[in-house]
A and B are shown apart, each in its own frame.
Chain A
Amino acid sequence: MTTRTLEMALATPSLDAQGRPTRVPLGVGTTKGDPADEFGAEPMLVNIGPQHPATHGVLRLVLELEGETVLRCIPHVGYLHSGFEKLGEYRHYNQIIPLTDRTDYLSPMANNVCLALAVEKLMGIEITERCQVLRVIACEMSRIISHLVWLGTTGIDLGAFTPFLWSFYERERIYNLQESWTGARLTTSLTRVGGMMADVPDGFEAGLRQFCQSFPKTLDEVDTMFTRNAIWCGRTQGVGVIGHDEAINYSLSGPMLRASGVDYDVRKDRPYLGYESYDFDVPVGEHGDIYDRYRIRLEEMYQSTRILDQALDRLAKLKGAPVNVSDPKVILPPKSRAMSDMEAMIFHFKQVMEGVPAPIGESYMGVENPKGELGYYFVSDGTAKPVRWRIRPPSFINLACLPRLCEGALLSDVIAINASVDIVMGEIDR
């Protein structure tokens, strides 16, 4: 049994009776129409976005302000709607994989893995052990790069520029590894139903091992820079608070949910890819504010490094083991065999022209993505194309509680709260 606690040993100058940092927004507590209250008597409408760097994409927020206090926040989404779910209904299962790259484009490999798992659940395919380890590596690499983007951009939103450069430097190292593996930096299309597009190339393991050794040092530096920084604490502690029960009621997931003290991680509670056999901790916060979300994401990067280390050990043990399942109906034969062997050519032709039919039924597969629980729900009528491909988008559902989080906050806190949700519009709008 692993421990699941996150230490919150921090003294702030003003704490309320529950030990929570206090903060009273301007305008709260004054009565409306008070002649002394000249500012903020009339509500004001402020529009942020869709073209605004601090909204992290094409999110548009309409805020009703009284003075500097947010009375109401009305988010508008859909500017990046691409109809992926509809497109998926016209594609073979393997052809959907490139679409998943473009949903949560900050962690494309994790999306690829989720899609492959969902379809394999639908078709009842058992993947090989080496494939499982490779997918764990892909998921955890994605978690690190996604959290690094979050860390850098949130730092910039709150006025800290240096950690942005550090985190993007580290992210670049993972991107180089990703590029050597998949040939792409964003449109990875890494997995296939029943296996992977490719095994890791030569030198990948050594590169990733080196990353795992030096990366925690950068995290330590970020920790030094942020965790006890008075400005950072002042901007994040007690801001955007959501409690335990409410977080569940709002269907939050991922770091957003765990920051509110709910101990739910899909990797632990509904294990897939053999996550139950890895030794790692799930950080859980207690205050449910921006600061706890930051602590959790920071800790998750340390834990991902731990998982990567263990996965690399397993990968070395499984050297030379098959990656793909040996079912010629599901996995394309190598091109050389398709050109020389009659049977292989037939399988190749049938797969490319007709696709791989899935049995009648439906499957929901949820995985722990960097943003939260990503779920792919497939309904099949027995043909090679799904009747329905539903994405359960974690950042869409997390963003839905933004109006609740922003109520009574200051205008400048809206930027911080929005950053702390960790949204990616490609996934929200799909």
Chain B
Amino acid sequence: MTAATALQAAFGSAIVRSAVSCGDLIVWVERDRAHDILAWLRDTAGQEYNYLTDITAVDYRDPERPLEVVYQLRSLARKADLRVKIALDKLGPLEVESVYDLWKGADWLEREVFDMFGVTFRGHPDLRRILMWDTYAEGHPLRKDFPLRGHFTRAEQTRQALAANPEAHYSIEELTIAEAFGELPEDVRRRLAHGERGRVK
């Protein structure tokens, strides 16, 4: 029994459809049941997809088409691969359940998808930008509505980079560890607390 039919039997209508592309099995699942399905795939005997190869997302050129969050799973014991996809309507909230509780490896991968596509992972312990800096204000670079060179002009980008204050390199959490937060001037503290790091009006 392939993973697709087993999933169909166990979850019924939560399995939207399945397909094979270039020899890889792909299963589309409903957003609200995705976490249960992934946990089931990991823990059920006969499936044992215990290795999370990758999490990513795909934004299609067709603006009508939903954005997809893609999980590449692998069963190390059975040497089998499975791709699980969640389709997210771009008009609705781009939100899925985090799988950090299932795989610790999802930590940075989910942060990257959040950073690049703006998909929020509910339950992720530390959902921050990862490749772009915290104060990056131009949006999510891998979305198709994001122009190749960014939304701001080169001059604006340079101005912001030059205006960034040194405290912007540390998060509030880190400054608190160093007990340096309390020693900062009042206006800097206020700016940091309001998340205005790196930008000077």
Contacts and interface: CB of A to CB of B under 8 A. Distances in A.
A248 B51 contact: yes
Contacts of B131: 77-78, 81, 429-430
A44 B177 CA distance: 7
B145 interface: no
A78 B103 contact: no
A45 B54 contact: no
B105 A78 contact: no
Contacts of B21: 361-363
Given A363-B21, A392-B72, A429-B131, A250 B104 contact: yes
Contact of B60 (A264, A387, A404): A387
A85 interface: yes
A397 B109 contact: yes
Given A83-B141, A390-B54, A396-B108, A45 B60 contact: no
Interface in A40-65: 43-45, 62, 64
A262 B24 CA distance: 24
B8 interface: no
Contacts of A388: 56, 58-59, 142
Contact of B108 (A249, A269, A379, A400): A400
Contacts of B171: 74
Contacts of B26: 362
Contacts of B61: 381, 387
B51 A379 contact: no
B83 A364 contact: yes
A337 interface: no
B52 to A, nearest CB: 5
Contact of A44 (B22, B72, B178): B178
B152 to A, nearest CB: 15
Interface in B128-142: 129-133, 141-142
Secondary structure at the A interface, as helix, strand, loop or mixed, is: mixed
B105 A249 contact: yes
Given A85-B142, A121-B22, A364-B83, A377 B174 contact: no
Nearest to B26: A362
Contact of A249 (B24, B62, B104, B142): B104
Residue of B26, B50, B146, B177 with most chain A CB atoms under a 10 A cut-off: B177
A43 B142 CA distance: 39
Contact of B22 (A85, A251, A362): A362
Contacts of A152: none
B124 to A, nearest CB: 13
A270 interface: yes
A224 to B, nearest CB: 35
A366 interface: yes
A401 interface: yes
Contacts of B56: 377, 388, 390, 392
Given A62-B174, A364-B24, A400-B108, A392 B132 contact: no
A64 B148 contact: no
Contacts of A121: 22-23
B24 A363 contact: yes
A379 B133 CA distance: 27
Contacts of A413: none
Contact of A366 (B53, B60, B112): B53
Contacts of B170: 62
B79 interface: yes
B164 interface: no
A43 B116 CA distance: 34
Interface in B1-51: 21-24, 26, 50-51
A45 B51 contact: no
Contacts of B95: none
Given A85-B142, A387-B58, A387-B60, A373 B53 contact: yes
Given A62-B174, A364-B83, A379-B58, A81 B53 contact: no
Interface in A252-305: 252, 262, 264, 269-270
B97 interface: no
Contacts of A379: 58, 60
A270 B81 CA distance: 10
A122 interface: yes
Contacts of B22: 121-122, 124, 361-363
B196 interface: no
A269 B130 CA distance: 32
Contacts of A264: 51, 76
Contact of B142 (A72, A86, A400, A429): A86
Contacts of A249: 103-105
Interface in A361-407: 361-364, 366, 373, 375, 377, 379, 381, 387-388, 390, 392, 396-397, 399-401, 404
A204 interface: no
A212 to B, nearest CB: 31
A90 interface: yes
A122 B21 CA distance: 9
A45 B108 contact: no
A46 B121 CA distance: 30
A399 B26 CA distance: 28
B104 A262 contact: no
B167 interface: no
The 7 closest A-B pairs by CB, nearest first: A251-B105, A45-B178, A400-B108, A363-B22, A78-B131, A361-B21, A392-B54
20 contacts: A45-B174, A77-B131, A86-B141, A248-B50, A250-B103, A250-B104, A251-B109, A252-B105, A262-B76, A269-B76, A362-B26, A363-B21, A364-B24, A377-B56, A381-B60, A388-B59, A388-B142, A396-B108, A400-B109, A430-B131
